[in-house]
Amino acid sequence: MKRSGIIAEKLGMSSLFTEQGRALPVTLLKIDNCQVIGHRTLEKDGYSAVILGSKNAKPNKISKPMRTVFANSKVESKSHLREFRITEDAYIEIGTQMKAEHFQEGQYVDIAGISIGKGFAGGMKRHNFRGLEATHGVSVSHRSHGSTGGRQDPGRVFKNKKMAGHMGDVRVTKQNLEIVSVNTEENIIIVKGSVPGCKGSQVYISDAIKRS
């Protein structure tokens, strides 16, 4: 059985202390008015999924077609939508509020989000290159990435060559993160370690696919 995931907002990082006095870096994730707003079915769409919406939005801030979708589902307008693939036996009723108790303490999850954008970065920062020599004739280009291709053969730079360029602001998934605590009153999930994205960004939590 493959369950639905959930949409959460990254509140930021903190630390917790174990009984042995060891500090654990943790990330706080808040579930903010997350509701089921629709289904995808095998007969109609060719696959099974649930559509979740998170964070209430003013109706005048969303498009007219989407207002109709929310009205038909009898759900308040949402600013963030996301589909989660599921098996046919894991559908959740439309309008259901998703809570932090959807996950349990000690469970392992995969969390996806958009990483923080770093702008234009060189080869050393972007790809962990070693750089050129500090001496032996090298001047000015100590942090450059060196040769990018041959001359007559192959006579071009291969696609996907690691070079300087735009870093970050891409979708990243961190796998097998342990849930340290679940606060059902505040609807907050506390996860061990870091999570992609900046404070206030939306992340997508789902059951870990590589651990039972």
Instruction: Pull the structure tokens for residue 41.
Output: 């079915």
Does the pLDDT of residue 179 top 80, yes or no?
yes
pLDDT one-digit tens code per residue, 124-175: 999 999 999 999 999 999 999 998 888 888 889 999 999 999 999 999 999 9
* Superfamily name with CATH number, domain 1-31+100-117+168-212: Translation factors (2.40.30.10)
Alpha helices in 48-170 (DSSP H): 64-73, 123-127
Question: In this structure, which CATH number among 3.30.160.810, 3.40.710.10, 3.40.50.720, 1.10.1490.10 belongs to the domain 32-98?
Answer: 3.30.160.810
Q: What is the pLDDT of residue 8?
A: 97
Instruction: Report domain extents, the chain.
Output: 1-31+100-117+168-212, 32-98, 119-147+160-167
**Nearest Cα to Cα of residue 104 among 34, 35, 180:** 180
- Decide whether 1-31+100-117+168-212 matches 32-98 in CATH topology: no
CA 194 – CA 14 distance, rounded (Å): 10
Measure the CA dihedral 163/165/166/167, to 10°.
Answer: 40
Does the pLDDT of residue 49 top 90, yes or no?
yes
CB neighbour list of residue 82: distance below 8 Å, 6 or more residues apart: 5, 7, 51, 52, 54, 204
Contact 113, 201 (CB under 8 A): yes
Average pLDDT, the chain: 94
CA 18 – CA 139 distance, rounded (Å): 50
Instruction: Pull the structure tokens for residue 184.
Output: 């059902």
Angle at 176 between CA 172 and CA 177, to 5 degrees: 85
pLDDT one-digit tens code per residue, 85-138: 999 999 999 999 999 999 999 999 999 999 999 999 999 999 999 999 999 999
CA 174 – CA 205 distance, rounded (Å): 10
Q: pLDDT band at residue 30, thresholds of 50, 70 and 90?
A: very high
Whether this model's pTM surpasses 0.85? yes
Q: What is the pLDDT of residue 106?
A: 94
Torsions phi, psi of 87, nearest 5?
A: -85, 165
